[in-house]
Amino acid sequence: MPAHSAVDIAGRVSQPRIFDSIESAAMTDTGLLDAPLPNEAFWPSASAEAAPEFSGTLHLLPARMRIDPPFEHTLPAECGDAGLFPGVTLEFTTAEGILVPLQRGQMVREASPARAGSFWCVIPQFGRVWREPGEEWANAAFPLALVSTRDTHAHQGLARFKYKERSLSALQFQFVQQTAPYLLKQHFVAWGSTEARWSEPKAGGPEAQRRQALAERARRLPSRPLSELAKEFQRGRLNEFGAPVREQWRVQTGLIRDGVLYHHEARTPHGNFPYPLEMRFGVRSILKAVGVPLALLRLAQVYGPYVLALKIGDYLEGLDPKYRRVRFIDAANMASGFGGAGSWQTHPNDPMDGYLEGGYDEWMAAPTHEAKLQHIAATGRAYPWEPGTVMRYRDQDFYLLGAAIDRFLKSVRGPTADAWDMLVSEVFKPIGIFQAPIVRTREPEGRRGVAWFHSGYYPLLDDLAKIALLFQNCGAAGSRQILHRGLTEDLLNAKDALVQSGDASLGAPASAEHDPKSGSLYKMGFHFVPYVGAVSGRQYFLPTMRGWGENEVVLYPNALITIRIAKVGQLPPGERPTSGAASRTIRMIDRMSPL
Among candidate residues 114, 39, 57, the one with its CA nearest the CA of residue 83: 114
Residue 477 lies in a domain: yes
Residue 350 lies in a domain: yes
What is the helix (H) or strand (E) element at residue 57, kind and residue range?
strand 56-60
Residue 580 lies in a domain: yes
- Tell me, yes or no, whether 192 and 337 share the same domain: no
Q: Which residues contact 414 (CB under 8 A, 6 or more apart)?
A: none
- Tell me, yes or no, whether 309 and 162 share the same domain: no
CATH code, 352: 3.40.710.10
- Tell me, yes or no, whether 581 and 449 share the same domain: yes
Residue 264 lies in a domain: no
C-alpha to C-alpha distance for 517 and 555, rounded to whole angstroms: 21
- Tell me, yes or no, whether 203 and 301 share the same domain: no
* Final residue of a structural domain among 195, 211, 227: 211
Residue 577 lies in a domain: yes
* Final residue of a structural domain among 153, 183, 211: 211
Q: Which residues contact 477 (CB under 8 A, 6 or more apart)?
A: 430, 431, 470
DSSP state of 465: H
Which region holds residue 542: left if phi is over 0, alpha if psi is between -120 and 50, else beta? Answer: beta
Q: Would you list the DSSP string of 196-264? A: EEEEPPPSS-HHHHHHHHHHHHHTSPPEEEHHHHHTTSSTTTTTTTTTTB-GGGEEEEEEEETTEEEE-
- What is the pTM (predicted TM-score) of this model? 0.93
Q: How many structural domains does the chain have?
A: 2
C-alpha to C-alpha distance for 362 and 532, rounded to whole angstroms: 42
Written as one letter, the residue type at 516 is P
- Tell me, yes or no, whether 467 and 326 share the same domain: yes
Q: Hey, which residues does 85 pair with through a beta bridge? A: 63
- Tell me, yes or no, whether 569 and 488 share the same domain: yes
| Euclidean distance between the first and the last CA atom of the chain, given in angstroms as a whole number | 54
- Measured over the CA atoms of residue 354, residue 355, residue 356 and residue 362, the dihedral's sign is positive
- Tell me, yes or no, whether 479 and 351 share the same domain: yes
- Tell me, yes or no, whether 187 and 310 share the same domain: no
C-alpha to C-alpha distance for 276 and 458, rounded to whole angstroms: 15
- Tell me, yes or no, whether 339 and 455 share the same domain: yes
Q: Would you list the DSSP string of 270-324? A: TB--S-GGG-----GGGGGGTHHHHHHHHHHHHH-GGGGG-BGGGTSSSS-GGGG
Helix, strand, coil % in the chain, rounded to nearest 5: 25, 25, 50
- Tell me, yes or no, whether 51 and 161 share the same domain: yes
Residue numbers of the domain that contains 148: 6-211
Q: 3-state DSSP call for residue 556? A: coil
Residue 450 lies in a domain: yes
C-alpha to C-alpha distance for 476 and 301, rounded to whole angstroms: 11
Residue-wise burial string across 510-536, b where 16 or more C-beta atoms lie within 10 A, e elsewhere:
bbbebeeebbbbbbbbbbbbbbeeeee
In terms of C-beta density within 10 A (0-12 exposed, 13-18 middle, 19 or more buried), how is residue 440 classed?
A: middle
Alpha carbon separation from 176 to 192, 274, 378, 470 (Å, rounded): 12, 12, 40, 32
Residue 240 lies in a domain: no
C-alpha to C-alpha distance for 114 and 218, rounded to whole angstroms: 40
C-alpha to C-alpha distance for 481 and 107, rounded to whole angstroms: 30
Beta-carbon count within 10 A of 47 CB:
9
Greatest alpha-carbon span in the chain: 78
What is the helix (H) or strand (E) element at residue 383, kind and residue range?
none
- Tell me, yes or no, whether 206 and 85 share the same domain: yes
- Tell me, yes or no, whether 296 and 201 share the same domain: no
* Final residue of a structural domain among 211, 242, 268: 211
Q: Hey, which residues does 189 pair with through a beta bridge? A: 68
C-alpha to C-alpha distance for 340 and 380, rounded to whole angstroms: 6
CB 40 within 8 A of CB 206: no
Q: 3-state DSSP call for residue 482? A: coil
pLDDT tens string, the chain, 595 residues long: the values are 233 333 222 222 333 333 333 333 333 344 568 899 999 999 999 999 999 999 999 999 999 999 999 999 888 888 899 999 999 999 999 999 999 999 999 999 997 655 668 999 999 999 999 999 999 999 999 999 999 988 899 999 999 999 998 788 999 999 999 999 999 999 999 999 999 988 887 766 678 889 999 999 999 999 999 988 888 877 667 888 999 999 999 999 999 999 999 999 999 999 999 999 999 999 999 999 999 999 999 999 999 999 999 999 999 999 999 999 999 999 999 999 998 888 999 989 999 999 998 899 999 989 999 999 999 999 989 999 999 999 999 999 999 999 999 999 999 999 999 999 999 999 999 999 999 999 999 999 889 999 999 999 999 999 999 999 999 999 999 999 999 999 999 999 999 999 999 999 877 554 545 666 668 999 999 999 999 999 899 999 999 999 999 999 999 999 999 999 999 999 888 899 999 888 999 999 998 888 9
What is the helix (H) or strand (E) element at residue 418, kind and residue range?
none
Q: How many helices (H) and strands (E) does the chain have?
A: 11, 29
